[in-house]
Structure 1
Amino acid sequence: MLTVKLPQIFQVHQVPRIFWEDGIMSGYRHPKSSALDCILSSFQMTNETINIWTHFLPTCCAHTFSTMSARARHVCYFCDYGALSLYSLGCAFAYGAYAMPERWVSGVLHRYFVPAAAFNSFVCTGLSCYSRFPELERPRLSKALRTAAFVYPFLYDNIPLFHRLLFCFGSDGACDEAVAGYCYHLVFALLTGFLFTSHLPERLAPGRFDYIGHSHQLFHVCAVLGTHFQLEAVLCDARSRRAWLRGRLPPPAGPGTFGTAGLALLGNAAIIGAFTAALPRAPGGSAGAAESRAPGAAGCVGRAQ
């Protein structure tokens, strides 16, 4: 009979410091897991299981393979940051096409909204990737840089929504449903940011939320819910404003849209490649450097749960 042995899990002091999470005391996977171990670990209860599945379903696998080595952890999250940057660009495409306030349509901001968002994606990826370099020596700076990297494009993308919420989009009652959806989206976005920066509730009770209920899991759930309401609102705008927009704007040009997206993809891939190449020279960038800073790391295998 075929049996599968699931990977062992460890306490926080048994893994290198680069893998530590605030307030999470147990449930860590081996810091040099094989790819097979990473996949198998998604079917056992660890402190990453819910993170894996809430990320894995939309095909972003950073959490799944982040324990193969310290270097692999960095590279996985570099790719995750790039995906989030491209998501922010996708938001700009949708908002530029359907969500602009009436008075801004065909204006300067409308014309340059998407190109500026493409540039923002480079800033977001570059700054968030760089934030992993001082992670061990200056964790507060690392967190601040990473937070700023995602807050900045979020604020830019949502300028049209902020205007619509402030002025209720004039007297056009057909867009009330869309505005309500955007409100829900922004509420969940604020919750997402709060959970990302606060590390609550695990900071208040270390060890109590290692497997279920810690901030990163709640962060993922809020992000998914916020995206759901965002898509519903954009679809509502597309239905209610399509005829009005056709009379004022040329039809969307596929080559221009795909061209911008393609250039953004290549540019973000180049940024990720550059930071990946720089990892061996970064503090804590290699597995050996990270492990040398972790108390008890050398004996992590022997002291498995």
Structure 2
Amino acid sequence: MLGDILQRLSTLTLSVKHRGRLPSFLDYFPSSLPLPCPTVTASQVPNLFREPYILSGYRPANQDWRCYLLSLFQRHNESLNVWTHLLVVPLLLLRWWANVGALGYTLDANSLPLALFMASALTYLSFSVAAHLFQSHSEISHYFFFFMDYVGVAVYQYGCALGFYFYASTPAWRESCVGQLFLPGAAFLGWLSCAGCCFAKCRYKRPYPLQRKICQLIPTSLAYAWDISPVMHRLFTVSWSQEQSLVFHALQIVTFLLSALFFAYPVPERLFPGHCDFVGQGHQIFHIFLSLCTLCQLEALFQDYATQGGGAVQVFEERQLWWACASFPALCLVCLLTALVTMRHKHQQLQGKAK
């Protein structure tokens, strides 16, 4: 393997000298690996893979799986969608370790909701990376990975709800009707978000009608409005000068709303078709703002944990903490089953179309 790499380095040096071409990162991989094919235009890929106003930079379908893995280092129209979430994973882990070290954090009933929030964030980021990296392999792969992406979003929503409820809520809010129904409602709306997105992806074909966006946005918007309610109540009833975490909570709301704006509307590519194929797509900007939102959430929850989360068992019964956290894997399982059932239905549809 090392000899193969050194030989390719020598060949690349000659290439640079004689043809004036700078080698790409992919050129350094051993020649035995099936490297990705050059990108193609929208007219050269199935309609399913085409994005509105994105005219080039598509990866051909039906390549070897390793080609899509190695396309992580290739320039294509999904590159930044992958990297904008992939790079956030080490950032989250670094902030986690820094905060854990500063707080003397130990995993117990008090800190379990915080750990589940972190797990949910890593889940949605990982599933998103996989979806954008491998969805071009085939129609089946496209649907499967995006259904898993929707599972990740639902899990993340509920992970946020757990963190907000146990660390960011006030006694007055918890005594309200919303507060008393909060966790069951968050679990249901998380599942509804996953089911709505899976249904919309399965039901509607490109060019997607407005109904698809409605099926996606209504349940996810309801879930967000419900999940953020303890934070909103606290922002309007507690002095910001007394609690530093409220600044990060305000920032996470602003960055989330900006991310939702770019998710809902394909700008700026709609204004400049073909000029945002590789850099500047609305979905890339959506990823950036959502990543910033997650980082702000982590900082806010750690500050809340430092000031009051260590006494969560005193505020809530330990039994309530364990039951609430046990609902997290239950929701993961229900959302996963929903995605797999929808995938089975879609697979049957695609088989019927192929006959």
- TM class, shorter-length: 0.7 to 0.9
Distance (Å, rounded) in 1 between the aligned partners of 2:78 and 2:280: 11
| Equivalence map 1:77-226=2 (5 Å) | 77-105=146-174, 108-132=177-201, 133-136=203-206, 138-167=208-237, 169=238, 171=239, 173-175=241-243, 177-226=244-293
Q: Deviations over 1:91-113 (max 9, x none)?
A: 11101101112312355533431
- Bigger shift: 1-10 or 223-232? 1-10
CA contact (8 A) 1:202 1:209 kept: yes
CA offsets 1:142-164 (integer angstroms, 9 cap, x no match): 12211223212111101112222
Asked whether the 8 Å contact 1:135–1:142 carries over to 2, the reply is no
Cα distance between partner residues in 1 of 2:312 and 2:347 = 51
Q: How far apart in 2 are the matches of 1:82 and 1:31?
A: 24
Is the 2:72–2:133 contact (alpha carbons within 8 Å) kept by the matching residues of 1? Answer: yes
* Deviations 1:238-287 (CA, angstroms, capped at 9, x unpaired): 122246755533246564244201211111111011101110355xx569
- Secondary structure of the corresponding residue to residue 178 of structure 2: helix
Distance 1:113 1:9, change over 3 A: same
Q: Give yes or no for the alignment of 1:63 onto 2:132.
A: yes
Change (3 A) 1:14 1:240: same
Aligned residues: 284
Normalised by the length of structure 1, the TM-score is 0.85
2:344 pairs, out of 257, 263, 277, with: 277
User: CA-to-partner distance for each residue in 1:279-298, whole Å, 9 max, x for gaps?
Assistant: 0355xx56967xxxxxxxxx
Q: 2:302 aligns with which of 235, 249, 264?
A: 235
Task: Indicate which of 17, 28, 37 corresponds to 1:7.
Answer: 37
1:38 aligns with 2:68: yes
SS at match of 1:29: coil
1:298 aligns with none
CA RMSD, 1 decimal: 2.2
Q: In the alignment, residue 60 of structure 2 is paired with which amino acid?
A: H
Secondary structure in 1 aligned to 2:126?
coil
Normalising to structure 2: TM-score of the pair?
0.74
**Matching residue's letter, 2:170:** P
1:6: how far off? 3.0
What letter is aligned with 2:220?
A: F
State the alpha-carbon separation in 2 of the partners of residues 72 and 244 from structure 1.
46
Query: Does structure 2 conserve the Cα–Cα contact (< 8 Å) formed by 1:181 and 1:232?
Result: yes
Q: Percent identity?
A: 26
In 2, Cα distance between equivalents of 1:198 and 1:128: 17
Rg: which structure is higher? 2
Per the TM alignment, residue 193 of structure 1 is displaced from its structure 2 partner at its CA by 0.5
Structure with bigger RCO (C-alpha 8 Å, 6+ apart): 1
